[in-house]
Amino acid sequence: MTRTTLALLALSTTALLASGCWDRGLNNWEKSQLENRTADDIGSQIEEFDSFSGGLTEVETSRGVWENCYAGWGGCERCYVLEGESASGTLSMELVATDDAPQCTQALTLNDVRYEYTIDERQWSGSWTLNSGTPGDDALWDVTWSGNHDATLIVTGSENYDGTYDSSFVMNEATGVTDGDGNVSEWTVDYDYNGYLDRDWHVVAGMDVDGNITGSVVGDGATCVISGVQYDVVVDCE
């Protein structure tokens, strides 16, 4: 092999690496982290949707404003504000620290490895419109929102994976259909991890009226299939 050929090969390799075309696949630990993180984050969105949907039936009787807080991550609270009337309005949610939980942190130890997850900021806002029916009877509402989630995962006690991992994501859009009693008949999420496991991932998932969940995670080094039923989100990365 000539020097010219070697030089061209080196330049080609450098270009591939710089362009991101030289993919490094995920190892088993990274796959499990991405699978668990995605399933947890989707599940938390649906849990929050359940929490505030009952306010849709109450906002009109509460003079146009409904506010409530529920238990959130690490002892913090998820606080909602709904403003409007039963036909339409705006909503917002913010994770709020408390005196007992000045930091929204929770830790878990598995097989002598400690995982500490801290949410620095979680907030989103959106709106709702009456889809069909009559509030208090057979109504259905369409709800949409977007926002951000800034979080960090710290791993200690492992052989090879100790460190601090950016677990933030940006919710481009989430949608849902609810009866106002906490029953969610359909939902979708479209969001991006920017830097999780030092890579970028795009997540799209949804549940249809029959309760079937489908979706995918696409990014550098892996493609994941999202499936499941109702509130059981399953993520499988290859």
Per residue of the chain (238 residues), give pLDDT as tens: 443 333 333 333 333 333 333 456 899 999 999 999 999 999 999 888 888 888 888 887 888 999 999 999 999 999 999 999 988 999 999 999 999 889 999 999 999 999 999 999 999 999 999 998 877 678 899 999 999 999 999 999 998 999 999 999 999 999 999 988 878 889 999 999 999 999 999 999 999 999 999 999 999 888 999 999 988 999 999 8
Q: Distances in Å between the alpha carbon of 41 and those of 87, 155, 192?
A: 29, 18, 11
Token pair listed for 97: 């620290």
Residue 200 in any domain: the answer is no
Residue 219 in any domain: the answer is no
Token pair listed for 182: 């906490």
Residue 204 in any domain: the answer is no
State the pLDDT at residue 182.
78
Question: Quick one: DSSP state of residue 73?
Answer: G
The number of domains in the chain is: 1
Rounded Cα–Cα distance for residues 75 and 91 (Å):
23
Cα–Cα–Cα angle for 202, 72, 61, rounded to 5 degrees? 100
* Ramachandran bin of 85, using left for φ above 0, alpha for ψ from -120 to 50, beta for the remaining angles: beta
State the pLDDT at residue 18.
38
- Reference 42, options 195, 215, 221; nearest CA is 215
Sign of torsion over alpha carbons 26, 29, 30, 33: positive
Residue 86 in any domain: the answer is yes
Residue 41 in any domain: the answer is yes
Q: What are phi and psi of 172, to 5 degrees?
A: -70, -45
State the pLDDT at residue 53.
86
Token pair listed for 59: 């906002």
Helix H or strand E encompassing 50? helix 28-53
CA atoms within 13 A on the CB side of 17: 6
Residue 154 in any domain: the answer is yes
Buried residues in 110-147 as b, exposed as e (16+ CB within 10 A): eeeeebbbbbeebebebbbebeeeebeeebebbbebeb
Q: Where in the sequence is the domain holding 185, given as residue range(s)?
A: 24-191
Rounded Cα–Cα distance for residues 169 and 219 (Å):
14
State the pLDDT at residue 1.
46
Per the listing, tokens 């061209």 go with 8
Token pair listed for 88: 């339409």
Residue 162 in any domain: the answer is yes
Residue 230 in any domain: the answer is no
Are 217 and 189 contacting, i.e. CB atoms less than 8 angstroms apart? no
State the pLDDT at residue 59.
87
